[in-house]
Structure 1
């Protein structure tokens, strides 16, 4: 199945709870939420699309790692782009697979992330992904557009989000 990215929005008044326990803001079955099937379903029939409104959930499939490459520091000692905060992390591998990475982003961080995402243009993407195929670049661009829309909406509403890579 692969390692995927899911983010769930939360309202400003829940920020303290989200920062203390971001996992509690992640859906019980994120893939079901993203693909629109009942949690725990053993059959993939009846997929209807994302179960939650786009303003409440972001699903980046496996593109998170490409978006991480675009936003991470280019040189040793260089600071990452503000948007890297929303893609940073990786699973912790263990004997039985992996443990997910989970983080909460406070509402006051969201506007700078949104502004940074908006500043990422085709040249930045192509430079960062220069060793990737055209299909990888297109895949990253498609999901970057979705991420921009999600984060820009959160910034407008004064909301934060918790995300899971796993």
Structure 2
């Protein structure tokens, strides 16, 4: 068998070779070249679903007209399509309880951006979620015209 590679590194044809029936070294080298790329694909596919599920944790929120407050949150993400996730969050500080919704888009493996809506306080803004390498911790940062904040969440 003989494998031919194009200039871009793609396998373009496979033809049987004549002779002893042994596997030619060129074909083996071609497979060795392609193997690292094949190993990358499952990792990316797995990260696409790493966000879905329930998370909880705490962080801080800074209101533009007030002090910084500690806030605890429970967040649920549900996968709506290959790269889009719906978000529902319940958060509480010593002075407020908040229920928010939103939608995130996976912009690269383990990184999601989108918008949130906090209807009871008429606040909308941008949110960014980054999942740490272990897949069990995430950092959430958000900003709006009324303030900003950051949370660290762990999988529940």
TM range (shorter): under 0.3
In terms of fraction of residues, the more helix-rich structure is 1
In terms of fraction of residues, the more strand-rich structure is 2
Normalised TM-score (structure 1): 0.26
Bigger-Rg structure (1/2): 2
Normalised TM-score (structure 2): 0.27
